[in-house]
Amino acid sequence: MKVLVTGANGQLGYDVINELRHRNIKCIGTGRQQFDITDYAAAEQFIEYYLPDAVIHCGAYTAVDRAEDEPELCYKVNVIGTENIAKICKKINAKMMYISTDYVFDGTKEGVYEVDDIPNPQNMYGKTKLEGEVAVQRLLNKYFIVRISWVFGSNGNNFVKTMLRLGQEKEVIDVVSDQVGSPTYTVDLSKLLVDMIPTDKYGIYHAANEGVCSWAEFAEKIFEISKIKVKINHISTKEYLSKAKRPKNSRLSKEKLMELGFGKLPSWENAVARYMDSVI
């Protein structure tokens, strides 16, 4: 099988390509240099020439707060860009895997979010990612939609890197403790995505490392592992000024993955330890 990965210069796309190569699956990673996903003609020309059996669409506008100030650009990349990739997949009869987010939910549910819970995004990024999901579902039958949360990987900026930087600068760091979710390590997730892509077990999935924590607990684990002495001051969402509203509950049920025979990802604590071993 031949797989094309968009967003290959980003956190997730980079590790998806690594995993495909590791398994000797023929693949190509694409970024803006190859084609801009919002340019249908350019995307069509490139993808039709490579003619993949599957596209893993990791390319996205991911600046959650900035999206509130530039909604048109966010829409263009996450909705029009995704629609373009879906149309091309349809034309060449390729499977499509669309990576989505916990931010499609409003976070008001008491328990974990199931794959068929009704989305209700609270910010521009979440709204456009949901519209991307809708476009994929409208245009294709052979699709996987995989909602993930709190991503960290070696290739790009993320919460772990931000905390390590702040840990060098400050003795006390304010971190939100009333938003809970599951960190997702791109290396672990990529293994799952590459397990899924050759199958025909299409549909919507939730995936993340096992276990849940708040951002403050996540930060404490990072400093425990790195042995950097920093005090984490637990603050509430209300006290943390940010442009975009974020869900308080981002806990995603992984039951569908289990039902369909895909393995669990390791615990988030184990993932953070391995990640920090590789970046420090």
Ligand X SMILES: NC(=O)c1ccc[n+]([C@@H]2O[C@H](COP(=O)([O-])OP(=O)(O)OC[C@H]3O[C@@H](n4cnc5c(N)ncnc54)[C@H](OP(=O)(O)O)[C@@H]3O)[C@@H](O)[C@H]2O)c1
Which residues are near ligand X by CB under 6 A?
Answer: 7, 9-13, 31-32, 36-38, 58-62, 77, 81, 99, 101, 129, 148-151, 156
- Which of 32, 264 has the CB closer to ligand X? 32
Query: Does the annotation count 125 as an active-site position?
Result: yes
Q: What region does 31 belong to: left with phi over 0, alpha with psi -120 to 50, or beta?
A: beta
- C-alpha angle with apex 244: 124 to 10, nearest 5 degrees? 70
Nearest distance in Å: CB 111, ligand X: 20
| Measured distance CA(239)–CA(180) in Å, rounded | 16
- Which of 231, 244 has the CB closer to ligand X? 244
- Which of 62, 209 has the CB closer to ligand X? 62
- Which of 36, 106 has the CB closer to ligand X? 36
Nearest distance in Å: CB 152, ligand X: 8
- Which of 21, 231 has the CB closer to ligand X? 21
Nearest distance in Å: CB 71, ligand X: 15
For 75, other C-beta atoms within 10 Å of its C-beta total 19
Nearest distance in Å: CB 26, ligand X: 21
- Which of 40, 172 has the CB closer to ligand X? 40
Nearest distance in Å: CB 64, ligand X: 8
Nearest distance in Å: CB 12, ligand X: 4
| Measured distance CA(18)–CA(212) in Å, rounded | 27
Closest residue by beta carbon to ligand X: 10
- Which residue is catalytic, options 14, 50, 113, 125? 125
Q: Which residues are catalytic?
A: 125
